[in-house]
Amino acid sequence: MSVNVAIAGATGAVGQEFLTVLAERNFPIKQLRLLASGRSAGKTVEFRGQTYTVEELTKDSFKDIQIAFFSAGGSISKEFAPAAVAAKAIVVDNTSAFRMKEGIPLVVPEVNPEAIHKHNGLIANPNCSTIIMNVPVWPLHKVNKVKRIIVSTYQAVSGAGAWGLYELEAQLKAYATGQPIVKEKFPHQIANNIFSHNTKIAENGYNEEENKMVQETRKIFNDPKIMITATCIRVPIPRAHSESINLEFERPITPDEVRRILSKAPGVTIVDDAASNHFPMPLEASGQDNVLVGRIRQDISREDGRGIELFVSGDQIRKGAATNAVQIAEKLI
């Protein structure tokens, strides 16, 4: 079954990754419509040996479209996604605009694929850090309920968009040549530095990224009582987020049990070679769809055997964005 597909935000980093993933997975496209702002309209893009001209995104852009991927920002999704739904397209939205809205599925296909078909024309793609955490935690949660998650993230600059890459590259070049380092969009120097995730601090003292990981995971797991706390940090890495995850389980569990469960889990690749000190790294996760999982060890601060430590790396542009959305669309058709 071939479908008519639109990509809103087609010229952005995630929009371009959509095209790569759609091609790699041989997604059955009958007609492709690439949409962006008026500034990008008229640009040409190559896809599967054909040249496509980018069109300006309007509320009339979705006639005869069956699946519309949105990755142009939350305000754009709020303005134009309802028009796509009204035109009978199913929207898979990669922004935060609809994630916590009642009645809109928030989906990681390895976790809650059954939620996909409960849509009313709109499906939300979770935050990238949430996806990267949920993929390895969920299969463990199914076997032995996770009661508490403590997660610290190390998030690549491209998670902020293409401009994050440009800013890191410019600052590194300036540092290497002895030139002044200029901050443009990040609130602090990112080259040779780390800082708290560049989102607004809420009244509870957590930044937006941290609150997203808490709230979204509870919705995806359908478990409003699971205890989660997060610390999200921006690091000078071009691509792929990493996360240190501490899990408290309902019953005792061993590292060998965790390895056995995760070795069979979809979307997971175990990288856990203690002899070679080889564990998940963003460099190796970049360009991959699977989440790399390693540093699997008992939490020695507990005597009850119910604590496990993990370290993971995942490509936030692929599995954290484009790939997850395309997987949702594959299950739709």
- Catalytic, out of 188, 197, 241, 278: 241
Q: Is 241 known to be catalytic?
A: yes
Catalytic position from the list 119, 128, 141, 197: 128
Q: Cβ neighbours of residue 228 under 8 Å, at least 6 residues apart? A: 148, 149, 150, 151, 213, 214, 217, 218
* One-character DSSP codes across 169-238: HHHHHHHHHTPPP--SSSSS--TT--EE-SS-B-TTS-BHHHHHHHHHHHHHHT-TT-EEEEEEEE-S-S
Tokens of 218: 């509870």
Cβ-based burial of 143 (10 A; exposed 0-12, middle 13-18, buried ≥19): middle
| Strand 55-56 versus strand 67-70 pairing type | unpaired
Q: Is 232 a catalytic residue?
A: no
Judge whether 27 and 91 are in contact, CB under 8 Å. Answer: no
Instruction: Determine contact, residues 15/72, Cβ cutoff 8 Å.
Output: yes
Residue the block writes with tokens 């998940």 = 280
Could you list the active site residues? 128, 241
